[in-house]
A = this chain, B = another copy of it.
Amino acid sequence: MNKPISQMTREELAFEYSELLAEYEQVKAEALSLDMSRGKPSTEQLDLSDGILTVLKTGDDCLNSYGTDMRNYGMPIGVPAARGLFAELCGVEFDNVFLGGNASLELMFDAVARAELFGVLPGMTPWCKLDKVKFLCPAPGYDRHFRICETFGIEMINIEMREDGPDMDTIEKLVAEDESIKGIWCVPKHSNPTGTIYSDEVVRRFAALKPAAKDFRVFWDNAYMVHDLYDDVPDILNIFDLTQGTENEDLVYMFTSTSKITYAGSGISAFITSDRNMEHALKYIGTQIISYDKLNQFRHAIFFKDADGIRAHMKKHAEILRPRFEAVISAFERELEGRDMATWTKPTGGYFISLDMKCGSAKRVYELCLAAGMKLTEAGATFPYGKDPKDSNLRIAPSYPPLRELRKAAQVLCLCVKLASVEKALTNALSAL
- Residue of B with least CB distance to A268: B293
- Residue of B with least CB distance to A113: B113
Quick one: which of B148, B284, B296 contacts A293, CB cutoff 8 A?
Answer: B296
Interface size class on chain A is 35 or more
Q: Is A245 at the interface (CB under 8 A from chain B)?
A: no
Quick one: which of B47, B61, B69, B283 contacts A46, CB cutoff 8 A?
Answer: B69
**Further 14 A-B residue pairs, CB within 8 A, beyond A71-B263, A72-B264:** A43-B59, A43-B69, A46-B71, A50-B59, A53-B58, A69-B265, A71-B264, A103-B289, A103-B291, A113-B117, A117-B117, A117-B128, A128-B128, A263-B295
Given contacts A50-B59, A57-B54, A113-B113, contact A289 B106 (CB under 8 A): yes
Q: Is A70 at the interface (CB under 8 A from chain B)?
A: yes
6 shortest interchain CB distances as A-B pairs: A266-B295, A109-B288, A265-B294, A102-B293, A71-B263, A151-B287
Please state if A265 and B74 are interface contacts (CB–CB under 8 Å): yes
Please state if B128 and A287 are interface contacts (CB–CB under 8 Å): no
Given contacts A57-B53, A71-B46, A117-B128, contact A266 B287 (CB under 8 A): no
- Residue of B with least CB distance to A109: B288
Neighbouring B residues of A103 by C-beta, 8 Å: 289-291
Q: Is A311 at the interface (CB under 8 A from chain B)?
A: no
Give, as a whole number of angstroms, the nearest-CB distance from A87 to chain B: 21
Q: Is A56 at the interface (CB under 8 A from chain B)?
A: yes
| A residues in contact (CB < 8 Å) with B | 38, 40-41, 43, 46-47, 49-50, 53-54, 56-59, 61-62, 69-75, 101-103, 105-106, 109-110, 113, 116-117, 126, 128-129, 144, 147-148, 150-152, 259, 263-266, 283-284, 287-296
Please state if B293 and A101 are interface contacts (CB–CB under 8 Å): yes
6 A-B pairs in the complex with CB atoms less than 8 angstroms apart: A50-B59, A53-B62, A72-B263, A72-B265, A103-B291, A266-B295
Query: In the assembly, what is the distance between CA of A289 and CA of B107, in Å?
Result: 9
Neighbouring B residues of A46 by C-beta, 8 Å: 59, 62, 69, 71-72
Query: In the assembly, what is the distance between CA of A240 and CA of B143, in Å?
Result: 37
Query: In the assembly, what is the distance between CA of A41 and CA of B40, in Å?
Result: 38
